[in-house]
Structure 1
Amino acid sequence: MKKLNLILLIDDDAATNFFHKLILEKENCCENIVCKENGEDALEYLSTKTDNEYPAPELIFLDINMPRMNGWEFLKAYEELEAYKKAKKVIIMLTTSLNPTDKEKAKEIVSINDFMSKPLTSKKIQSILNSFDSFFQ
């Protein structure tokens, strides 16, 4: 399985980001992990060139409930980004929400590839990497 270049974590909880980053590092599945604490910061990050390139993460883990710009608002703005500023394709909505309406809403949004409950685990990471392996080629 190919090692990913960049995973973007979008979650307002610093402890959750720290834990998820540790799990991802333990799985040794990517070169870089970037954490942003709300949708606004994530959009700014995706729209900013570094070394003449946009970040273009292969995988984004997105929380729903965040201040300033929540996950749904992020997705609406994300849809309007130019293709070269978006993730390579996989967005996983990772949330504590138990609201079945959220899961149904997520199914209707093309950009969302999966909907999972927190926390991220080694088993969930392996499942994602296996399920979406063709996207990462």
Structure 2
Amino acid sequence: MPKLSCIILVDDDSTTNYLNHSLLLRLEAADRLLTATNGQHALDLLHQHQPTTAAPDTLILLDVQMPVMDGYSFVETYAQLPASRHSIIVVTLTTPLPSHNITRLKQHNVAGFVHKPLTTEKVHQLLKTYFSHLEPDC
């Protein structure tokens, strides 16, 4: 399993953030794990940690429904940043989204969708799908 430079968890639910953070820490999935409680908080973290999070091996796990700045507004704003080409955004869902919302998110470089809760298997699959190029050649 590749180890990423950074994973950013963006979710307003503190229990979800705690559980996802604990899982990713146990899996040693990234050198740095950042947690944000809304889209604006995530943008602020990205600005503060720009040298680290601009790496091509950054995964952003994003909830859609949050206060202050929701996931839709986050991806629209993030898509305009230079670092946006270097990250993979995967939206975490509790319920399926209508197709027009999926289209709206995919227009702004959202790579995929995964249903909550995160599990070891889901994390492995995400890393395999989006970051297999980081695996050392055997």
TM-score (norm 1): 0.84
Asked whether the equivalents of residues 6 and 52 of structure 2 are also in contact (C-alpha less than 8 Å), the reply is no
3-state SS of 1:62 partner:
strand
Residue 110 (structure 2) aligns with: 112
5+ residue gaps in structure 2?
none
What one-letter code is carried by the residue in structure 1 that aligns with 2:20?
H
* Alpha-carbon distance change, 68 to 136 in structure 1, aligned in 2, over 3 angstroms: farther
Report how many residues are paired: 132
* Alpha-carbon distance change, 135 to 90 in structure 1, aligned in 2, over 3 angstroms: farther
Which runs of structure 2 are paired with 1:1-80 in the superposition (5 Å)? Answer: 1-49=1-49, 53=51, 55-56=53-54, 58-80=58-80
3-state SS of 1:132 partner:
helix
28-37 vs 7-16, which moves further: 28-37
Asked whether the equivalents of residues 48 and 54 of structure 1 are also in contact (C-alpha less than 8 Å), the reply is no
Distance 1:98 1:133 in 2: 25
Residue 129 (structure 1) aligns with: 127
Runs of 4+ in 1 over 6 A off after TM superposition: none
5+ residue gaps in structure 1?
none
TM-score (norm 2): 0.84
Distance 1:64 1:45 in 2: 18
Distance 2:22 2:49 in 1: 26
118-127 vs 91-100, which moves further: 91-100
What one-letter code is carried by the residue in structure 1 that aligns with 2:14?
A
Query: What is the aligned-residue RMSD (CA, Å)?
Result: 2.1
What one-letter code is carried by the residue in structure 2 that aligns with 1:116?
V
Tell me the percent identity.
Answer: 30
Greater fraction of residues in helix: 2
97-106 vs 28-37, which moves further: 97-106
Q: Deviations over 1:54-89 (max 9, x none)?
A: 533610000000001000000111011123xx3733
